[in-house]
Chains A and B, each alone.
Chain A
Amino acid sequence: DIQLTQSPSSLSASVGDSVTITCRASQGINRYLNWYQQKSGKAPHLLVCGANSLQSGVPSRFSGSGSGTDFTLTISSLQPEDFATYYCQQTFTTPRTFGQGTKVEIK
């Protein structure tokens, strides 16, 4: 199975801050890396697919980059509604796997 390691596991930030979450794959996955946001008690929501393609309706302050084994999700100016847990996922091969999650909390 392909392992995805996210860092950090959690972070505290203020509204307006820029934050970056990284996701490292245990082997190359081309651009088959997706990012999801999950708010407490809710289903995950797709933000970015194919490493850098922003989903329709997702604010432009979110951006993704990377290819191969190293990927990042950046939120350029954190808003109150962005405080949530973020997961990366690889869809290069089965079984699909997720990172362990990064919880973004209010400082």
Chain B
Amino acid sequence: EVQLVQSGAEVKKPGESLRISCQASGYTFTSYWISWVRQMPGKGLEWLGRIDPNESDVKYSPSFQGHVTISHDKSISTAYLQWSSLKASDTAMYFCARIDSSGFDFYAFDMWGQGTMVTVSS
């Protein structure tokens, strides 16, 4: 079964660091990009960036560049999203999603993780 399983909910204080994960199974990890998407409470979807696990190439949204880091570990088919210094405004649900890098599906996000809720509060 193809699935993306994300790490559990986190509660952090402002200024703390955090790394959340997205583990893929059921398909060849390096054949698909992984994107990260933010959804703040009661709001819409925002794209943070994506990683190509085959090329180790990362693209960020200008809105998030410099504030988050996207990485991966091919050996365990896992992508990561990390912050070095969290802010209260980072409180949100974060989703990972898979994209067929061939473009056959117009780079649509065809499989999503279940989401990781990050709460940043003093």
Contact = CB atoms under 8 A, between A and B. Distances in A.
Most buried by B among A43, A55, A94: A43
A36 B46 CA distance: 13
A62 interface: no
Interface in A24-55: 31-34, 36, 38, 43-46, 49-51, 53, 55
B46 A98 contact: yes
B106 A32 contact: yes
A43 B112 contact: yes
Given A49-B105, A50-B105, A101-B44, A43 B114 contact: yes
Contacts of B46: 98
B71 to A, nearest CB: 18
30 contacts: A31-B106, A32-B107, A34-B108, A34-B109, A36-B45, A43-B112, A43-B113, A43-B115, A44-B37, A44-B97, A44-B112, A45-B112, A46-B108, A46-B109, A46-B110, A49-B108, A50-B105, A50-B106, A50-B108, A51-B106, A53-B106, A55-B110, A87-B44, A87-B45, A89-B108, A95-B61, A98-B45, A98-B47, A99-B44, A100-B44
